[in-house]
Every structure is written in structure tokens, then in C-alpha cells.
Amino acid sequence: MTRAYLERISRVEPEVRAIITVTDELALKRAQKADKLIASGGDAGPLIGIPVLIKDVMCTKGVRTTCGSKMLENFVPIYDATVVEKLNDSGAVLLGKANMDEFAMGSSTENSSLFPTHNPWDLSRVPGGSSGGSAAAVAAGETVYALGSDTGGSIRQPAGFCSVVGLKPTYGLVSRYGLVAFASSLDQIGPLTQDVIDCALVMNAIAGYDRRDATSVPYDTPDYTRSLVADIKGLRLGIPREYFVVGMPAGVARAMKTAISKLEELGAEVDWEVSLPHTPCALAVYYIIAPSEASANLARYDGVKYGFSYQAESMWEAMEKTRESGFGAEVKRRIMLGTYALSAGYYDAYYLKAQKVRTLIRREFGRAFEKYDALITPTSPTVPFKVGEKVDDPLQMYSSDVCTMPVNIAGLPAISIPAGFVDGLPVGLQIIGKPFSEETILKIAYAYEQATGWHKRKPNI
């Protein structure tokens, strides 16, 4: 199986360009080890010998971890991220590291300093971002599943764009130890898979408390596969009107209404008159909090400790030139936004106010979940856009995540599942749950998946 996936990578990768580093020798060694364990009758779990790709923002011991940036182009970690350790313990076979927007800052994977990734459904279009390489690789059959990270939609938006399943877990459920930080209060690791069953299996492997991560929550994780029952009769689902944004293409709106009607047919109680009035504020809140945290987290890249270093006559010149040459335009933009928001005289007006509105958004969700078991929204207001279409318009690019950002701001779990096509391009359905309600959203996702079968359609590549 490992050889088959490596051959598939060699065939389609020149067109898709989803992978930064292919670890073929390591993969075959781990596959042989898995073969021996299975043959011996040893304790083999469901992930043993199964090929996986890891987004190139998670540390992998002895395998370079670039974060899609020139700054870390030759960085080789000396330890594994906790999620990588857990997958190794499960016997997973690492095929390589997936492409991404630089330091996870982007919505199209065009911000990678190495090369852009293309959508397997239409190679002229983006796969979404920042976990675009992970999503595209799963869709193109280059791996069975992949791990991504989600700071404002970076698992769910590419999952929607590539017609795969992508889960952003509750903040604190999956360890962030070994994840290269972008925005520490928003980042979360999760799976991108071909169907909901695989998603539950991967969550069983990676979820759980980790004392090395100060934000990890001591929580008794269940067996998520037990929630995969195609029966959602009586579940209360709310449809927040603010997520059907002005300018949403008619085809996307129709696909969403059809999907929600299917959930209603399956026995769910659907309320179309839900309002979360602070939702329009989420974009502004995110683009103050996330860049502020990025400004602090990326200060470590000074050309002294590790990573890219520009050789100059003075320390200050070396630091300036390192950051000038090592970071791409989008990363620089966000560092400057964050530094400005945190600066003396502006902290109260921007960062402090954004945190207050964040609290209002969180409370608003809390009130909604007193009445509903889950909220149903589009994953993205559009279908995948053309490569280069929004790259020079940051505001238009940022709006691609308008449906996913509020979830990160509130620390909630949410899943994107395939929900049809508009003119041959994928549309994703997002299911949002209250904290630690992964079982509920997986159950809803599974019921919808089994009733529709959109996940069985594959791109012709």
C-alpha cells in the first residue's frame, strides 16, 4: 500500500504540488515494521501501516519542517510534535510533509515560499489554505489522510474547497506541543480525511491531555467511532442567518439549503431563524488578535538561534536583513498589523477592544447552544477561486474565512463535510458544536454523509 501511494504521488504531484518533502525511505521502513507486527499477530490498531501526510508546521524528528517559509527552509527538528508521536505509536506510515501558506498565514496556499498548490478538482483553482497541501493531497489520492492546523479556518476551508472531511477540534483537546505557533490562543491541530469514519479514527489517536502543552485540557476522551450512528432524529439544529453573507453565489446558497433540508428529512429539528449578531465583527476581531499573537510568536526568528540568517557587519543589520529576506509579504503584513495593534497608545483601542468583542462572540455562541445541539453553516461563502485571483487583494482573501473564523475565536469544535458541487466545483457544509461536543458533530456529519454519498466522488486526475 505504501508503494502504491508513493507511486501515486510521483504521478500526480507535478500537477497538484501538494507536498514539500516526500519521505519515501522512512515510509518504506515503517511499512515493513508494520508488516512484521501484523504478521506476528501483535496488537495492531486501525492506523497501523496506514499512510499519512503531516502539514509542514508540525515538528518531525529528523525530517525538515519548513512552515512553507524561507526562514525555516533547512530547519530539521530534533523532536516530534505530540500528535506525530501519537501517530508513530499507532504505527502510521509518514509519507512526507504537506505544503501550506507561510507560517499558516493565508487562505489559498499561494503564500507558500516554495510553490503554490493546485486544486485537484480544477488545477486552475486554489485548494484553500493554509492547510491546502493536506486537503489537496487527500482529495488527489496521494495519502489516506493528513493532519492540518486551523487558526481561522485553515482545516475546514480547504476541506470544503477540496471536497474532503476536515475537523477543527475544541481548543485544548489536541496537543499543540511541537506545532510551530502562529496565534497561540487560536491554533488547533486536526485531521483531513476522505470520510467521517476515518476522521473519528484519527481523532481517537491524536486527542488527549498533554502536560507539555500549557493549553491542553485534562479531558477524558471517548471512542469517537461510537458516535457514528446514522440517526439524528430529535437533534436541534440552528441556522445562523449571518453566515449567509451578502454576495454569496446563488449556487452555493442553493447547495446549502438542499443540504439543510436533507438533515431535516433525516429527522433533525431545524430552526432557520437563528441570529448571532456579533458574527460580522469576527473578521475584524480575528485580524487584530491573530496578527498580535503572530507578532510576538515570530519575534524568535532573528537570525541568531536557528533558521535563515543573513550575514552582515552589525547585529541590527543582520536581524533586519534576516527578517526582510526570510519572511514573505503576507507574514510581514501580519507582523506589522500585530505590532501596531500592541503598540503604546493603540493597545486599548485595538487589542483590548478586540478581546472584549471576542468575549461577546463566545457568550453569543453559549446562549445559542442552550437551545441547539449544533449550528449549520456554509464552510465558505464561495467555491474555490482561480489561482492569482485574490492574491493581490488581502481584504478579499481574508473574507474567504468569514464563516470559519468565529469558531476559532470562541474555541469551538467544527467540521466541514462535502455537500455537493456548483458547476463542478466543491461546496462544504460546516457543523459547529459546543465545547467538547465532537461526538455530536461527528454523528450529524456521518448521518448526512451516509444519506448523500458526496464523499465518494473523486476528481479526475
Residues marked as catalytic: 55, 130, 154
Residue type, 441: I
In this structure, how many other beta carbons lie within 10 angstroms of the beta carbon of residue 311? 9
Euclidean distance between CA atoms 158 and 134, whole angstroms: 8
Residues 6+ apart with CB under 8 A from 258: 420
Backbone phi, psi, residue 217, to 5°: -100, 125
Instruction: Check: CB of residue 54 under 8 Å from CB of residue 29.
Output: no
Residues 6+ apart with CB under 8 A from 360: 278, 281
Q: What is the 3-state secondary structure (H, E, C) of the chain?
A: CHHHHHHHHHHHHHHHCCEEEECHHHHHHHHHHHHHHHHCCCCCCCCCCCEEEEECCECECCECCCCCCHHHCCCCCCCCCHHHHHHHHCCCEEEEEECCCHHHCCCCCCCCCCCCCCECCECCECCCCCCHHHHHHHHCCCCCEEEEEECCCCCHHHHHHHCCEEEECCCCCECCCCECCCCCCCCEEEEEECCHHHHHHHHHHHECCCCCCCCCCCCCCCCHHHHCCCCCCCCEEEEEHHHCCCCCCHHHHHHHHHHHHHHHHCCCEEEEEECCCCHHHHHHHHHHHHHHHHHHHHHHCCCCCCCCCCCCCCHHHHHHHHHHHHCCHHHHHHHHHHHHHHCCCCCHHHHHHHHHHHHHHHHHHHHHCCCCCEEEEECCCCCCCECCCCCCCHHHHHHHHCCCHHHHHHCCCEEEEEEEEECCEEEEEEEECCCCCHHHHHHHHHHHHHHHCHHHCCCCC
Euclidean distance between CA atoms 334 and 453, whole angstroms: 40
Cell numbers given for 304 = 541568531
